[in-house]
Structure 1
Amino acid sequence: MKHLDCVVMAMTLFSSQMSYSASFYEQLEAVQLGDAHFDAQGRVETAGDIDQKVVCLRPMRKGLPNISAENVGEQVRVHLYGHGGSGWTLLWGSVDRAMALFEEKAKEHKLNEHVPITVIGAGCMGKVVALSLYHAGYRNIRIVAEQDDSIASLNSTGYLAMVSLATENESEKKQAEQLAIDTLKGYKKVEQGTHPIINEGVHLVDVYSGLGKEGEEGPLETYTGIEPYAEAGLLPKPENGVVKFSTGVSYPMRKFQTYFMDTSVLMEAFDRELKTRNIPVIHETVGSLDDIKTYVVFNCSGLGAAKLNHDDKVYPNMGLLLELAHQPLKKLDYIIYTRYQPPGAPKRIGPMDKADVYFMPRRGGLLGATFIDHNDGSDKALNEELFSKILRENKQFFGYPQN
């Protein structure tokens, strides 16, 4: 009865007009942000909880990602890029589709297992393509990339959800959702230890989003990107309830579940598999696809595809992340993805489906993330302003006093 009383009290306190029944009451450890302080202008003055600030660029593409195959003279080119911030979310489905297109070309050109293949790009797409080619029997594979550290795949938060694409109509949205569903099935195999390429770095995690309405304060109702999976019966249906953090604040929230991918663990595992199979990663800049002379090219170049494939639909979407330090990470195995209206702050005008409070349990824990379209991250003053906003609003959300 004590838990029921707490639920009733919390719901009365935070939203007496809400007409849902609370199916859970959970007490969660709060992210530790007590060391964050701000000056009179609202800029971060001290922040011992912050390990580093990260600026990352999502390889967005207007419409759908480019997953296609073509003949250019005697060369077969397979394109696989433009997944925005959903590269990990669409990974297995996208690679499977690209591989199917390639196998059609391989039959047409009568290619054998020793055909020279170059994969451009060392992100998750490029590395999984190389490993998938090996699994399919091909043995003359190399990856060429300018770098394979500090890239989008490593900076990604590892949140399996349809939240960072630029689809323009219902048909494109449905096609992307199918790629996502196929990818989820791949991650289930990873979790179960039955995937042919990798079997670590993935587990189910609770995701909490708001239930508040426009004009209210606190966490607001949010499209999480998990809805298509839940509607298809591939992930649990969401539940409404109350979350109380260790700082004492409580919120009515909606709980989903999705897969969390520890991107650093997965990329390290891909690297081990590549090394075991003697697939080299060559660090060099590709100026043009015409410079690659192998019979087969997989173009997994991300943002680089704007130049390499003369694709004016490709553009950067800036994300900012604060990697945390000194967090009790074993107690923070949850995700917060919610729009948030800070008490007393001007009302939100931005997109309805973007998160303002965004916590992920990756590495030491991280806060984010911004969704700034057509931004290459070069405006340092804007970046610092947004870093301060991220920290301030997360501090308010988790119940720390403002100074």
Structure 2
Amino acid sequence: MREEQYRFSRQSHHFVGRDLEPSVWQRIHIDPWLTLILFSICFVGLTVLYSASTQNTAMVIRQMVSYGIAFVVMAVMAQIPPTFYRTLSPIFYVLGLILLVLVEIIGEVRMGARRWIDIPGFGSVQPSEFMKLGMPMMCAWYLSRKELPPSIPTVFTTLTIIAVPVILIAKEPDLGTSILVAGSGMFVLFLSGLPWWMIGGAIAVFIPFVWGLWNFYMHDYQKTRVMTLVDPEADALGAGWNIIQSKTAIGSGGLTGKGYLEGTQSHLHFLPEGHTDFAIAAFSEEFGLAGVGLLLFFYLCLLARSFYIAVVNPDTYCRLLAGALTMSFFVYIFVNMGMVSGILPVVGVPLPFISYGGTAVITLMAGFGLLTCVHTHTKQ
């Protein structure tokens, strides 16, 4: 396994460059398979939203506009050579840190959390979302300039790069986003050929760290979410309501579901946030295991194509960045479905391209713009 990890971080594979003449898709910097799968998932997302929002046409139109902007962002980002992103990476990272510091100083407080900055004439922005791209870009930039596998000083420097924004995001508080941002950086470090003894040591250190996190850092509502995971029925009408209703919706869908627009949990408002964090529960109730299986197939195809793009790239920066983005996307899917099905705490992570929300959609699509960029420009 270590040998394969090292090969991923250092070697270009023999089948890169077999195509002597770039295709039309490569010349316009569009990956047709990636785009087709993304269109399919977005179509499912609109279908779910129309039902889960109790046929709110205005909300569906806003989401369609977000999808349109997101695809434009992906296409534009794909046209820019990877060398530009390589140069931009440390600048983007530093700007993200500055914005996170500004959140602490002048950020807006909503629902007890300070996560947004109001920009006159533009609206509110959430700087932590930018770090979902800035973190893997910076880590890939730094590690691609070092000898790999990384030395101990290189590992500690990378961990410092990861820790600073993660701490700032966790202080907002936004534990879910901080975990995702930390993961995006750790994936780059892992793919760079991190020795297994270091990984084992990190796990050993993580155990007492969790104890300190629980006792001295986590807020009461965050602890409640963890305890609710263990026994949601202990507060069935309070903290456990979301998980109980979500599992009820999933279970009632059965094999083929109740039928489109026939879901009762979301339409009768038993299911909270049926159009955002718990969208997959609403989808499962109406389309059953068969519908969820189809959606998972789309996700699997998207992950397989993305990982292929990462593996075949001959450039270290591009390969590390593409691999980290792919693994981060998998984590988004796993965490959302895990919390909705009751095997993970509820941390407010939306399901990619299915849950309602413009900022998350555009950020995710920008990541796929980077993937398309490093693939199509390398092919030429």
TM-score by length of 2: 0.28
Higher relative contact order (CA 8 A, sep 6+): 2
Query: What TM-score, normalized to structure 1?
Result: 0.27
Structure 1 or 2: larger helix share?
Answer: 2
Structure of larger gyration radius: 1
